[in-house]
Structure 1
């Protein structure tokens, strides 16, 4: 008995057949295409396609990459000769204030700055050179005379001085006088800073 094959439905042709192929995306698919990008930030997804493009910086603005500008931040090289204190890689400023008493000639308050050099002492450059020539990294340049020092009891005069500030990274707060041989010798080591006494003596 011959098998009966069902008759196949004829395929539509013409404009009616192409209408289904050209049918636009339905409303559910369109809604999904709109809502998915909006929901991605809420669920923590961050695909590359959802990231906004960076906006080029305008004139004078910092780049959006977070890189430090030249001369700002830890990656910059400090400018030579800058003596600001407390900044990494830069030396503290050498600055001293001198007050002279009972000198008979130049009592008063004086300032000295070194590296670079300027000030109101009579010879700023000579004072800086004298201090630099005696500075050692392992020694306090302005240390007082030791209490057990053997000093000649020679009175050098009534001159007194007080020096304060910072030198070679060390705080300075010390007094000078000329009451004996040791104190006279110490004064003479700083003569360009403290000034020559009215009656200089060899200490």
Structure 2
């Protein structure tokens, strides 16, 4: 009696037969192809513009985008305490300190009359020194040596002064300007002893008289 052998099932072939073999590879790839476009809008990127996240810059380094760090040259962020972004060399509250501490400008204009030698208009500036008088530095030194902050250096001879009636010559002068913070507008002459002595105190500014033997 012949033995009965069970028939073996034929192996599937064709498209259905290959599906099982392709399943381990096809499903993850298909899932990635579907999920990636869905996730990109959620992270603010698109397939065309997606870029790696930048690495945080080290100390003193500019960000990868090229934007400068705050406080580094080229930035638009203003410095602390200065909303306008402009830099100032002085601290708040000291803006007028430099003006208040400045030395008053010392400048004088001298006009000489009837001297016979030095008639004309002259200028003098002190601190720093320059001018058209014959000896600017000597004139500034002479004025500085007599300057006192509690009195007017160019004050006229008092009207009640007792003066000798000695005529020193026809020379006259007019001085105007500013000295030691005071306005100056005064006349000089040599008509008596007091006026001669006053002229001589400013000889470097007014010049030597034409008749010094009479002074």
User: What runs of 5+ residues in structure 1 fail to find an aligned partner?
Assistant: none
Does residue 187 of structure 2 align to residue 156 of structure 1? no
What SS does structure 1 have at the residue aligned with 2:186? strand
Deviation at 1:88, TM superposition (A): 2.1
Deviation at 1:92, TM superposition (A): 1.5
Aligned residues, how many? 203
Contact 1:84 1:92 in 2 (8 A): no
- Worse-matched range after superposition: 28-37 or 174-183: 28-37
- Worse-matched range after superposition: 188-197 or 32-41: 32-41
Contact 2:67 2:75 in 1 (8 A): no
Deviation at 1:150, TM superposition (A): 0.1
**TM-score normalized by structure 1?**
0.58
CA distance in 2 between partners of 1:51 and 1:27 (Å): 27
Deviations for 1:110-151, whole angstroms, at most 9, x for unmatched residues? 000000000000000000000000000101000000000000
Deviation at 1:169, TM superposition (A): 0.3
What SS does structure 2 have at the residue aligned with 1:25? helix
Deviation at 1:87, TM superposition (A): 2.7
Higher helix share: 2
Contact 1:84 1:91 in 2 (8 A): no
CA distance in 2 between partners of 1:12 and 1:100 (Å): 132
Contact 2:167 2:214 in 1 (8 A): no
Change (3 A) 1:12 1:48: same
**TM-score normalized by structure 2?**
0.55
Deviations for 1:55-102, whole angstroms, at most 9, x for unmatched residues? 999999999999999999999999999999993221221000000000
CA distance in 2 between partners of 1:153 and 1:193 (Å): 24
Contact 1:78 1:90 in 2 (8 A): no
Q: What value does the CA root-mean-square deviation take over the aligned residues?
A: 12.2
- Worse-matched range after superposition: 101-110 or 10-19: 10-19
CA distance in 1 between partners of 2:29 and 2:167 (Å): 106
Deviation at 1:12, TM superposition (A): 37
User: What runs of 5+ residues in structure 2 fail to find an aligned partner?
Assistant: 80-91
